[in-house]
C-alpha cells in the first residue's frame, strides 16, 4: 500500500487471506471480485504500442470505438483515463467543490474516500447536495439507479450534477443512462476492466460535459493511457459480437452459481458478474465464508452487513472445484 493511502474495503487481498488461513498464493481461487473470468482475447499488440508515446490518432480511434460501442450522443464528450479509479480520484477537484455530495449508501467506497479527502460533506439528504453519485447497477446489490429528466436544468441554479458509475452496466446495456448525458449536468463513468475481464489493463472512461472533461483531462496530463491499453481497448470496443456472446454466457454462469451455492440463504441479488447472497444470520454467513477459505476460495463479506456474502464467477476450469467445496458445507 502506498504512503498516505488509507485502507479501504475492496475485493481481492489474496495475500491477507494467505496470512490468515494459510496455503500459498497459488493455491487460492479469488471469487471476491466482480471481474469477468473469461477475459477478452487481447491478441498481438503492435510493437510500437510498447516503444512509442501514444499518438493522437491512436487515442482518437479508441474514443471513436468507445463512442460507437456505448452510443454516446454526438455533442457529448468522452475521455479515456488509466482506470475508472483515477477518474473518481480527480472528479472532486473539478466539480466546483468542496460542497455537499450525496453518495448512494453501500456502494463502491472509492467515491466516499475521494470526495471526503477533498473536504466535501457526504450527505444522504436529497435537498442538501450539489453533486449526487449513483453506482448503476450498484455494487454489491445490483440495484439500478433512477434516471433524471433529459432537459437541461439550468433554470435551477441549485440543480446538482449527477454522476452514474456504470462500471458494471455493460452486462445490461439497455439500462445505461448514456442518453441522459445530453443534460450537461449528467456524467457517466465507465470501467473497462470488469466486463472485458482485463482489470490489469487500467482503462476507464468519463462521458459528459466537454468543459468539465477538459478540466479532468488537464488534471490527467499528457498520454494518460498507455499504448497497449489503447490498442487492446480499441480492438475490444470494436467487437460487439464478443460482447453479445459474453452477456449470454454471464447470465448462464450466474444461474449456474446460484444453483450450487448452499440453499441456506434468503434473497439473491447482484449482477451477472457477481452474486450477492443474503443469509439468515451472521453465524451462518461466517461459517460458509470460513469453510470456503479452508478450501482456499476467497469470497467477500462487508463491514456494514452481517448477512451479505458476494461471490464472483469462477473460470471455466474451476467450476468443479467450487461445486465440490459448496457441496461439502455443513452448517
CA–CA distance, 246 with 109 (Å, rounded to integer): 27
* pLDDT exceeds 60 at position 146: yes
Buried b vs exposed e over 249-261: b needs ≥16 C-beta within 10 Å? ebeebbeebeeeb
Question: Of 325, 257, 259, 244, whose CA–CA distance to 292 is shortest?
Answer: 325
3-state SS class at 204: strand
Residue 317, in any domain of the structure: yes
Question: For residue 90, what are the domain limits?
Answer: 47-238
Indicate whether 61 belongs to any domain. yes
| Co-location of 203 and 172 in the same domain | yes
14 grid coordinates: 489474496
Within a domain: 143:
yes
Same-domain pairing of 77 and 217 = yes
Is the predicted pLDDT of residue 47 greater than 50, yes or no? yes
Biggest CA-to-CA distance, the chain: 61
Gap between the Cα atoms of 174 and 107, Å rounded: 21
Q: Is 96 helix (H, G, I), strand (E, B) or coil?
A: coil
pLDDT at 254: 98
User: Is pLDDT of 261 > 60?
Assistant: yes
Looking at the fold, whether 118 and 145 belong to one and the same domain comes out as yes
Last residue of one domain, picked from the residues 238, 254, 280: 238
| DSSP conformational letter for 23 | S
Q: Which residues contact 313 (CB under 8 A, 6 or more apart)?
A: 31, 36, 37, 250, 253, 254, 257, 273, 274
Residues 187 and 291 in one domain: no
Assess if residue 248 is contained within a domain.
no
Range 156-169 average pLDDT: 87
Report the distance separating Cα 115 and Cα 286, nearest Å. Answer: 32
Residue 28 phi/psi, 5° resolution? Answer: -95, 145
34 and 51 in a single domain? The answer is no
Question: Is 154 exposed, middle or buried, given 0-12, 13-18 or 19+ CB atoms closer than 10 A?
Answer: exposed
Share of the chain above pLDDT 90, in %: 82
Size (the chain), residues: 331
Where does the pLDDT of residue 60 fall: very low under 50, low under 70, confident under 90, or very high at 90 and above?
very high
Angle, alpha carbons 152-157-162 (nearest 5°) = 55
Would you say residue 250 lies in a domain?
no
Q: Would you say residue 30 has pLDDT above 50?
A: yes
Summary count for the chain: helices (H), strands (E): 10, 12
Please compute the mean of the pLDDT values over residues 239-254 and round it to a whole number.
98
pLDDT given for residue 156 in this prediction: 61
Q: pLDDT tens for residues 62-82?
A: 999 999 999 999 999 999 999
Read off the DSSP letter of residue 147. Answer: -
Q: What is the CATH number of the domain that holds 287?
A: 3.90.1150.10
Does residue 151 register a pLDDT over 70? no
Residue 249 is assigned to a structural domain of this protein: no
Q: What is the mean pLDDT of residues 305-316?
A: 96
Verify that 27 and 103 share a domain, yes or no: no
Residues 217 and 283 in one domain: no
Same domain? 150 vs 55: yes
Number of domains comprising the chain: 2
d(CA 195, CA 233): 12
Residues 90 and 124 in one domain: yes
- Look at residue 65 in the predicted model and tell me its pLDDT: 98
Rg of the chain, C-alpha, whole Å: 20
Would the pLDDT of 155 be above 70?
Answer: no
CATH number of the domain bearing residue 67: 3.40.640.10
304 part of a folded domain: yes
In a shared domain, residues 214 and 308: no
Question: In this structure, are 183 and 125 located in the same domain?
Answer: yes
The answer on 143 and 270 residing in a single domain is no
The pLDDT assigned to 62 comes to 98
**In this structure, is residue 286 part of a structural domain?**
yes
**Which tens digit of pLDDT belongs to each residue from 173-206?**
999 999 999 999 999 999 999 999 999 999 999 9
Q: What is the pLDDT of residue 157?
A: 58
Amino acid at each position: 500500500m502506498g504512503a498516505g493511502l488509507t485502507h479501504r474495503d475492496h475485493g481481492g487481498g489474496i495475500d491477507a487471506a494467505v496470512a490468515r488461513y494459510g496455503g500459498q498464493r497459488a493455491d487460492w481461487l479469488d471469487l471476491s471480485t466482480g471481474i469477468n473470468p473469461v477475459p477478452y482475447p487481447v491478441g498481438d499488440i503492435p510493437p510500437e504500442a510498447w516503444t512509442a508515446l501514444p499518438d493522437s490518432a491512436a487515442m482518437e480511434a479508441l474514443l471513436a470505438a468507445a463512442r460507437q460501442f456505448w452510443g454516446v450522443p454526438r455533442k457529448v464528450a468522452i475521455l479515456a483515463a488509466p482506470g475508472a479509479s483515477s477518474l473518481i480520484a480527480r472528479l472532486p477537484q473539478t466539480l466546483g467543490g468542496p460542497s455537499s455530495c450525496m453518495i448512494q449508501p453501500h456502494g463502491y467506497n472509492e467515491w466516499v474516500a475521494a470526495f471526503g479527502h477533498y473536504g466535501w460533506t457526504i450527505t444522504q439528504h436529497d435537498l442538501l447536495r450539489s453533486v449526487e453519485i449513483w453506482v448503476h447497477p450498484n455494487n454489491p446489490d445490483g440495484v439500478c439507479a433512477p434516471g433524471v429528466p433529459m432537459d437541461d436544468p439550468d433554470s435551477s441554479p441549485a440543480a446538482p450534477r449527477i454522476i452514474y458509475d456504470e462500471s458494471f452496466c455493460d452486462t445490461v446495456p439497455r439500462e445505461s443512462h448514456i442518453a441522459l448525458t445530453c443534460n450537461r449536468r449528467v456524467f457517466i463513468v465507465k470501467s473497462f476492466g470488469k466486463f472485458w475481464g482485463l482489470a490489469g489493463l487500467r482503462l476507464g472512461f468519463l462521458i459528459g460535459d466537454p468543459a468539465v472533461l477538459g478540466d479532468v483531462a488537464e488534471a490527467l496530463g499528457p498520454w494518460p493511457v498507455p499504448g497497449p491499453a489503447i490498442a487492446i481497448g480499441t480492438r475490444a470496443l470494436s467487437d460487439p459480437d464478443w460482447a453479445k456472446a459474453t452477456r449470454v454466457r454471464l447470465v448462464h454462469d450466474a444461474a449456474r452459481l446460484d444453483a450450487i451455492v448452499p440453499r441456506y440463504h434468503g434473497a439473491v441479488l447482484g449482477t451477472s458478474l457477481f452474486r450477492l447472497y443474503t443469509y439468515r444470520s451472521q453465524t451462518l454467513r461466517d461459517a460458509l465464508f470460513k469453510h470456503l477459505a479452508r478450501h482456499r476460495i476467497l469470497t467477500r463479506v462487508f463491514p456494514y452487513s452481517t448477512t451479505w456474502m458476494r461471490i464472483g464467477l469462477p473460470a471455466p476450469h474451476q467450476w468443479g472445484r467450487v461445486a465440490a467445496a459448496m457441496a461439502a458445507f455443513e452448517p
